[in-house]
């Protein structure tokens, strides 16, 4: 990690959670979200286009929907993460199917690692994540120090 220094930021008690699922995994995400509806309702939710529409129909909770994933939605979620506007990613990506927007998916997962946000890529991890006591309290985490990064660039 040459050239990158880090600082601390705080994830608020009310998390901004992005929810994303590939087509064959949407059923799993919808069932998971319904099981965790009470917890999810305490947080701010956003999703890629189709996932968001299906989730809002199933849960009846407010969900901000981006564009559909293959049309740029993954990139929109990634941009929110880079802007520190999304605190957590639940992304049930399909390990059995190639996706036309694979570079976007990789970019989304990369930026989530860069900004050190909690990520769950399957149902079991998502269960663990939502049952964490950190879900309902502020949590300090390590993030890139962008000010120091820029200073080092000029």
Q: Which residues are annotated as a binding site?
A: 22, 26, 48-51, 68-69, 101
Q: Residues of 126-144 as b/e, b for ≥16 C-beta within 10 angstroms?
A: beebbeeeebeeebeeebb
Q: State the nearest-atom distance from the C-beta of 138 to ligand 13P, in Å.
A: 29
The residue with its CB nearest to ligand 13P is: 69
β-strands 139-144, 6-11 pairing? antiparallel
Tokens of 90: 């639940």
Q: State the nearest-atom distance from the C-beta of 57 to ligand 13P, in Å.
A: 13
Judging by beta carbons within 10 Å of its beta carbon (0-12, 13-18, 19+), is residue 150 exposed, middle or buried?
Answer: exposed
Stretch that binds ligand 13P, among 1-9, 36-44, 67-75, 137-145 (CB under 6 A): 67-75
Stretch that binds ligand 13P, among 5-13, 64-72, 122-130, 146-154 (CB under 6 A): 64-72
Residue 51 binds ligand 13P, judged by CB under 6 A: yes
CA triple 114-118-123, angle to 5 deg: 130
Residue 70 binds ligand 13P, judged by CB under 6 A: yes
Residues forming the active site: 74
In the bound state with ligand 13P, the residue whose beta carbon lies nearer, of 17 and 135, is: 17
Q: Can you list the alpha helix ranges (DSSP code H) found in 44-89? A: 49-59, 73-82
Residue 50 binds ligand 13P, judged by CB under 6 A: yes
Residue 56 binds ligand 13P, judged by CB under 6 A: no
Residue 55 binds ligand 13P, judged by CB under 6 A: no
Write out the binding residues for substrate.
22, 26, 48-51, 68-69, 101
Closest by alpha carbon to 99, among 117, 81, 74, 65? 74
Spatial separation of the C-alpha atoms in residues 58 and 112, rounded to whole Å = 27
Which positions touch ligand 13P (CB under 6 A)?
20, 22, 48-51, 68-70, 73-74, 105
């Amino acid at each position: 990690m040459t050239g990158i220094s880090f600082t601390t930021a705080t994830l608020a008690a009310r998390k901004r959670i992005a929810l994303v699922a590939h087509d064959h995994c949407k059923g799993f995400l919808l069932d998971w979200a319904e099981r965790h509806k009470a917890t999810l309702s305490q947080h701010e939710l956003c999703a890629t286009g189709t996932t968001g529409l299906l989730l809002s129909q199933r849960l009846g909770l407010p969900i901000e929907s981006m564009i559909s994933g293959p049309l740029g939605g993954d990139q929109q979620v990634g941009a929110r993460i880079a802007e520190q506007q999304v605190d957590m990613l639940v992304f049930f990506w399909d390990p059995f199917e190639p996706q036309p927007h694979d570079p976007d998916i990789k970019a989304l997962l990369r930026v989530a690692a860069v900004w050190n946000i909690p990520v769950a890529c399957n149902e079991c991890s998502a269960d663990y994540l939502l049952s964490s006591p950190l879900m309902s309290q502020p949590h300090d985490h390590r993030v890139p120090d962008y000010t120091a990064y820029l200073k080092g660039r000029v």
